[in-house]
């Protein structure tokens, strides 16, 4: 049996760090939504008791370090599956970009194998299993738009923002999420207005959404990688209605209600960087 599952990227409309937990994780509060930039994952059931991974990009692990492998493994172990699966990942989401590429691949494998292995698990159960793989996996299991708290696993679903164009720009440099967390000073940072963003989304107030885009990690990422700040400034100069960094970066994105403006931004950036995408919001949550 063969099945192809789509694994969409997420962006952060807000990202706040509200505390440090006893277990070493940071307590976050963020609004995430899925966009139609997606990896394509082909799952093929095999008789052999093994998990094979194939990826079309050299620097993504093709072994147990791949989060898609870990998703298959956790289901196989928990439900004593004695056959196996070959996972072929066609990556389109830039890697280490703040777009949850690995987490969404893991989530797609959980959803796909739940069906193929007839496990009958709910999305809530898959999300709980996903949390053992990574903090962003529960959101990626559900998709849609949500406020995420705790490590990122306590989800409150909200409506999807009004339709708009999103221009994503990922500079080629890498940033380490760990280094960025270490530079955060919880007392000095300006916190996003998460409640205000939620209200703007609920009332479909596009200019309010653009005004409230905010990410507490920007300052630290900009210090470590000034090029990210330059890209944000360029997007603002090109006339985007709202611009912010996603996750711990380095991807920066702009929202605009105009397709013409979206392609103007795209063309303005494409001249000097490879990873620029014009995408749409995905909207609805997955259903089982
Ligand atoms: P997040 O937004 O959740 O912080 P990210 O978008 O910054 O994630 P990923 O693209 O998920 O980062 O990659 C982070 C690391 O995970 C990379 O070092 C990569 O090698 C590893 N990795 C493991 N599995 C995958 C996968 N399926 N796709 C991409 N990267 C993966």
Give the domains, in start order, of the chain with CATH numbers. 2-157 (3.30.230.10), 165-280 (3.30.70.890)
For atom 3 of ligand 1, which residue has the closest CA?
A: 100
Is the separation of the CB atoms in 76 and 70 below 8 Å? no
Residue 183 neighbours by CB under 8 Å, 6+ apart: 220, 223, 224
Q: For each of the chain's 288 residues, which pLDDT tens digit applies?
A: 999 999 999 999 999 999 988 888 889 999 999 999 999 999 999 999 999 999 999 899 999 999 999 999 999 999 999 999 999 999 999 999 999 999 999 999 999 999 999 999 999 999 999 999 999 999 999 999 999 999 999 999 999 999 999 999 999 988 888 889 888 888 888 899 999 999 999 999 999 999 999 999 999 999 999 999 999 999 999 999 999 999 999 999 999 999 999 999 999 999 889 999 999 999 889 988
| CA-closest candidate to residue 145, choices 251, 248, 13, 37 | 13
Residues in contact with ligand 1 by the CB-under-6-Å rule are 60-61, 65-68, 89, 95-103, 105, 136, 177, 247-248
Is the separation of the CB atoms in 168 and 180 below 8 Å? no
| CA-closest candidate to residue 137, choices 145, 146, 128 | 128
Q: How far is the CA of 96 from the centre of ligand 1 (A)?
A: 5
Mutational test site, ligand 1, from 13, 60, 92, 103, max ligand atoms within 8 Å of CB:
60
Q: How far is the CA of 205 from the centre of ligand 1 (A)?
A: 32
- Which own/partner pairs from 234-238 qualify as long-range (CB within 8 Å, at least 24 positions apart)? 234/268, 234/269, 235/167, 235/169, 235/265, 235/269, 238/264, 238/265, 238/268, 238/269
Determine how many CB atoms are found less than 10 A away from the CB of residue 186: 13
pLDDT, position 284 = 87
pLDDT, position 187 = 84
Is the separation of the CB atoms in 136 and 155 below 8 Å? no
Instruction: Please state the pTM of the whole predicted model.
Output: 0.96
Q: How far is the CA of 246 from the centre of ligand 1 (A)?
A: 14
**Set 105, 136, 170, 198: catalytic member:** 136
**Alpha helices (H) along the chain:** 67-78, 101-116, 123-131, 137-142, 177-183, 194-202, 206-212, 218-224, 226-237, 259-270
The Cβ-side half-sphere exposure at 207, using a 13 Å CA radius, reads 0
| CA-closest candidate to residue 251, choices 285, 275, 269 | 275
Number of the ligand 1 atom closest to the C-alpha atom of 246 = 2
Determine how many CB atoms are found less than 10 A away from the CB of residue 134: 20
Compute the distance between CA of residue 115 and CA of residue 106 in angstroms, rounded to an integer: 15
Active site residue 170: no
Q: How far is the CA of 85 from the centre of ligand 1 (A)?
A: 21
Number of the ligand 1 atom closest to the C-alpha atom of 136 = 3
């Amino acid at each position: 049996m063969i099945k192809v599952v789509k694994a969409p990227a997420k962006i952060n409309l807000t990202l706040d760090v509200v505390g440090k937990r006893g277990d070493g994780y940071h307590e976050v509060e963020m609004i995430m939504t899925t966009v139609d930039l997606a990896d394509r994952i082909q799952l093929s059931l095999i008789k052999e008791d093994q998990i094979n991974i194939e990826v079309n990009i050299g620097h993504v692990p093709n072994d147990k370090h791949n989060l898609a492998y870990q998703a298959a493994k956790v289901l196989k172990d928990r439900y004593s599956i004695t056959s196996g699966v070959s996972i072929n990942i066609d990556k389109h989401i830039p890697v280490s970009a703040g777009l949850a590429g690995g987490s969404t691949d893991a989530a797609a494998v959980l959803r796909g194998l739940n069906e193929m292995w007839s496990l009958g698990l709910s999305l809530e159960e898959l999300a709980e299993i996903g949390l053992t793989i990574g903090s962003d996996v529960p959101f990626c299991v559900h998709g849609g738009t949500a406020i995420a708290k705790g490590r990122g696993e306590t989800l409150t679903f909200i409506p999807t923002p009004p339709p708009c164009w999103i221009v994503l720009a990922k500079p080629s440099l890498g940033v380490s999420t760990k280094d960025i967390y270490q530079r955060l000073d919880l007392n000095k940072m300006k916190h996003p207005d998460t409640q205000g963003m939620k209200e703007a989304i609920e009332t479909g107030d596009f200019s309010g959404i653009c005004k409230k885009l905010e990410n507490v990690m920007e300052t630290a990422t900009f210090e470590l990688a000034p090029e990210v700040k330059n890209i944000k400034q360029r997007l603002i100069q090109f006339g985007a209605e709202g611009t912010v960094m996603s996750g711990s970066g380095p991807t920066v994105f702009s929202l605009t209600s105009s397709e013409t403006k979206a392609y103007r931004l795209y063309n303005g950036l494409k001249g000097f960087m490879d990873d620029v995408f014009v995408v749409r919001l995905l909207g609805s949550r997955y259903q089982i």
